[in-house]
Structure 1
Amino acid sequence: MTAPSTDGMIHARRRDSDTKRARVRTTLHQMLEAGTPITFASVARQAQVSTWLVYAPGVREKIESARTQQNNETPAPRHDREHSRGLETDLALARAEITRLRAERDQQQQQLRHALGARMDNLAKADLLARVDELTRHNHELATVAEQHRTDNQRLQAWVTELEDDLTAARTSLRRMIRADNLHTEN
């Protein structure tokens, strides 16, 4: 028999799992209602769960069923094209976010330069040394912000690579499924 604290942890884990699965079901319903194309990645992102969970037994079937329902409601291109479009959309969104972050960083740096330049013009020479120290601190802060933007950029580029890998894996899986279905049909 397990200790009471272990039972509590197991119960909490099950409750967390049930909550996440319920979020997936709610997200699927909302996506069907809105006519949003359903992909495993989009469901995971909108439900704020791991991609592992959407492929888990019980959840995967619900997503596949929703996709089938959605495909039956509206004529759509082949399955792999729809999945590719979803991944291409994700990729385009990631690239747009990278571009937006870069523009935001550049704009903030430019605004800071203008503000600091205006302040420098108004300072007396006696205050310049203190101001240089303050500007050095601001420069370090800007370097930190720039590094954060670089990190965000790298993270988003890694995401793009992951999405491309997912697309390749999905295509390979689809080919295998088609090949297996053809072999099964021939037998």
Structure 2
Amino acid sequence: MTGARRTPGDTLREARRRDSQTKRGKVLAALDAMKDSGTAITFVGVARAAEVSNWLVYRDGVREHIEAAMKGQDKAARRRREGGAGASVASLATDLELLREENKALRQERDGLKRAVQRSLGAALDQEGARSATQRIGDLQAEIHKVKDELAAARAQNTALKRQLADAQEEVIAVREAGRQMFKSINRPT
């Protein structure tokens, strides 16, 4: 790298890309194995054989390979039918039952994954909420300390002002008394 730091998002994207390539490779390998063994190729069958989710086999770049293999099998099956070799009713019933079981398993997998995502998102939201609450508590405690300091300063100022008021009142009383005494001495007959 050129010294640029990778973000967690970059790391996750790279891991997802590698995982996607690996899974696509598994799909193509399973498709080749199914062609070689003569197994009926279906999107669900390929997904199951490759042990990947259904949606991957429908993605661009994968779907085309499966569709081409299915067309090739259809042509071969048509040739066999025209030659007299077709699938029996029992075989078709077995395939239908297998597909039903596969659908049931896929629904259960989907539901399990949905629950896991919900739990994961809930945990992430709880963690973010706890972080926000912790930050808010810290802010409120700092605000409380600030208000307490301001209150102590206001009380000290209040006490000082009361002292000054008392001193000023005593001075006013003394000045009044002195003024009375002065008027009395002036008004006295000599």
Q: Same fold (TM over 0.5)?
A: no
Q: TM-score, normalised by structure 2?
A: 0.42
Question: Which structure is larger by alpha-carbon Rg, 1 or 2?
Answer: 2
Q: TM-score, normalised by structure 1?
A: 0.42
